[in-house]
Amino acid sequence: MKVFLAGGTGAVGRPALAALIAKGHVVTAVARTPDKAAQVEAAGATPVTVDLFDAAAVAAAVAGHQAVVNLATAVPPLLSASRAAAWATHDRLRREACGHLVDGALAGGAERFVQESIVFTYPDGGDAWLDAAGTEPDPSALTAAALVAEAHVARFTAAGRTGVALRFGLFYGPGTAHSEALLRAARWGVVVTAGAADAYTSSIHVDDAAAAVVAALDAPAGVYDVVDDEPATRQHYAAALAAAAGRRRALRVPGRLARYSGAQGRAMARSQRVSNRRFKEVTGWAPRWPSVREGFATLVH
């Protein structure tokens, strides 16, 4: 399949690009700099430079591809992530760039569109299992744009094509600034998590996310949750991170501090125990790392 990939040089995009190539797909990937273009070429794909906020340029670049995959993000550094203003470009990619890519895919004859989304749109579910089929979203200011992107995907499906939105868990693994920063802190004996000790975090290793992107090229239209098999409580998440850092234990920063960091902090402190069952059933995909207990070790190596 001829695939157009936006975001192919990011933390998830790099392994996704490699996985697409390994499956025999012919990939054109967006590269904004000469260094990233060289990276794309080295992976076996064709680089293209295009402004995703330029509708005409996007339409020209997408034309002739059978599938479009949008993994383009602009996640801010951990220390500024609680500020809504820091997410402006990230939100614009979901609200505007995704719309341009869907329009270009429709005009250019693509039959399939795959869009990244996030499980953080769910409400606090305590210890109940959540999924896209049975849980209504309750987005915060930081996650509302994800639902706009999903609406663009639904528009693609309504036009008679196949649109797939993947609600990913919290990414971790090599190349993810968030988890690498947490690992550095854990080596000093401190683990930073938002939320109560018994609140759940649903995570996904970047390599497992990449495999899910490839699997989505054969999935029926819809919204699916891509998370590991065993969401961890904040307490168990902290323990797994400390173990990966080589410490028997680490001080977990109290989750109640999130209530003092505004609406954004409170949203990130939600308990979200998300199920991957539906995506596994329709694609046969399964995570290589069933939980952070196994997956965090890859950060060290």
Of the candidates 104, 121, 125, 123, the one whose C-alpha atom is nearest the C-alpha of residue 113 is: 104
- For 20, the enclosing helix (H) or strand (E) is helix 13-22
The structure's pTM equals: 0.94
Q: How far apart are CA 201 and CA 205, in angstroms?
A: 13
pLDDT tens digits along 8-64: 999 999 999 999 999 999 999 999 999 999 999 999 999 999 999 999 999 999 999
Ramachandran region, residue 229 (left: φ > 0; alpha: ψ -120 to 50; beta: rest): alpha
pLDDT tens digits along 195-236: 888 999 999 999 999 999 999 999 999 999 999 999 999 999
Number of Cβ atoms within 10 Å of the Cβ of 63: 14
Q: Which amino acid is at 89?
A: T
260 pLDDT band (50/70/90 cuts)? very low
pLDDT higher than threshold 80 for residue 271? yes
Sketch the domain layout of the chain as residue ranges.
2-174+203-229+274-288
Joined tokens for residue 230: 């065993």
With beta carbons less than 8 A apart as the criterion, state whether 4 and 69 touch: yes
Q: DSSP letter at 1?
A: -
CA angle at 99 for the pair 16 and 157, rounded to the nearest 5°: 80
SS3 262: helix
pLDDT higher than threshold 50 for residue 183? yes
Give all strands (DSSP E) within the chain, no chain letters: 2-6, 26-30, 46-48, 67-70, 112-118, 129-130, 162-168, 170-172, 190-192, 200-201, 203-205, 222-226, 232-233, 251-253, 273-274
pLDDT higher than threshold 70 for residue 252? no
298 pLDDT band (50/70/90 cuts)? confident
> Which superfamily does 2-174+203-229+274-288 belong to?
NAD(P)-binding Rossmann-like Domain (3.40.50.720)
Strand partners, 232: 201
Kindly tell me the sign of the dihedral angle through the C-alpha atoms of 205, 211, 212, 213: positive
pLDDT higher than threshold 70 for residue 155? yes
178 pLDDT band (50/70/90 cuts)? confident
